[in-house]
């Protein structure tokens, strides 16, 4: 089961807002894709939350774009920033990236974002959003959201 960003936001608005703030704090994040041989590849990436979708834009024929065309599964981690603070916690998103072929949809994205042309554009279908943070300098808190499943919160000392 998957959900787009709008469905996630509707299901868990507070967690969605925190995730957007974490991704908005820095420009570059880490994307994990799968190579032809199935081994992981991590690369830097900029993301956009726009019109109820989480978008991944990429340079033409970049290895990460070719990976996603072959196998759409991805994991995305928000840039933790400098030092140890990680304000808002660590946020990770997993799902499937679906390439946008429709010229009108790509043009609308291009008008908003103004990426260098040409570019690959993928919209995401989420399978999981995870936030990990420290509460009261005492607890490690893990929030796990999956489509169709209530938010789970795990606290450890």
- The pLDDT tens digits for 34-91 are 999 999 999 999 999 999 999 999 999 999 999 999 999 999 999 988 766 666 689 9
121 by DSSP, 3-state: which? strand
Specify the pTM: 0.92
- What is the H or E stretch that residue 86 is in? none
pLDDT at site 7: 97
Q: What is the pLDDT of residue 89?
A: 83
Sign of the four-CA dihedral 65, 110, 54, 125: negative
120, containing H or E segment: strand 120-135
Strands 120-135 and 90-99: antiparallel
Per-residue pLDDT band at 110 (split at 50, 70, 90): confident
pLDDT for the residue numbered 82: 79
Give the angle subtended at the CA of 17 by the CAs of 130 and 7, to the nearest 5°. 75
To 10 degrees, the CA torsion angle through 107, 112, 118, 120? -90
pLDDT at 1: 84
pLDDT tens sequence across 46-60: 999 999 999 999 999
How large is the average pLDDT for residues 5-13? 97
**Degrees (nearest 5) of the Cα angle 84, 88, 93?**
105
């Amino acid at each position: 089961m998957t959900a787009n960003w709008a469905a996630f936001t509707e299901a868990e608005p507070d967690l969605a807002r925190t995730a957007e703030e974490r991704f908005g704090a820095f420009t570059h994040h880490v994307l994990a894709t799968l190579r032809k041989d199935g081994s992981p590849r991590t690369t830097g990436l900029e993301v956009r939350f726009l019109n109820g979708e989480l978008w991944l834009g990429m340079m033409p024929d970049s290895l990460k774009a070719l990976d996603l065309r072959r196998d759409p599964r991805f994991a995305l981690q928000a840039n933790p920033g400098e030092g140890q603070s990680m304000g808002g916690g660590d946020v990770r998103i997993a799902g499937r990236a679906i390439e946008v072929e429709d010229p009108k949809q790509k043009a609308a994205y291009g008008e908003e974002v103004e990426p260098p042309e040409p570019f690959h554009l993928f919209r995401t279908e989420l399978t999981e959003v995870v936030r990990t943070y420290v509460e009261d300098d005492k607890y490690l808190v893990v929030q796990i959201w999956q489509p169709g499943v209530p938010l789970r919160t795990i606290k450890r000392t």
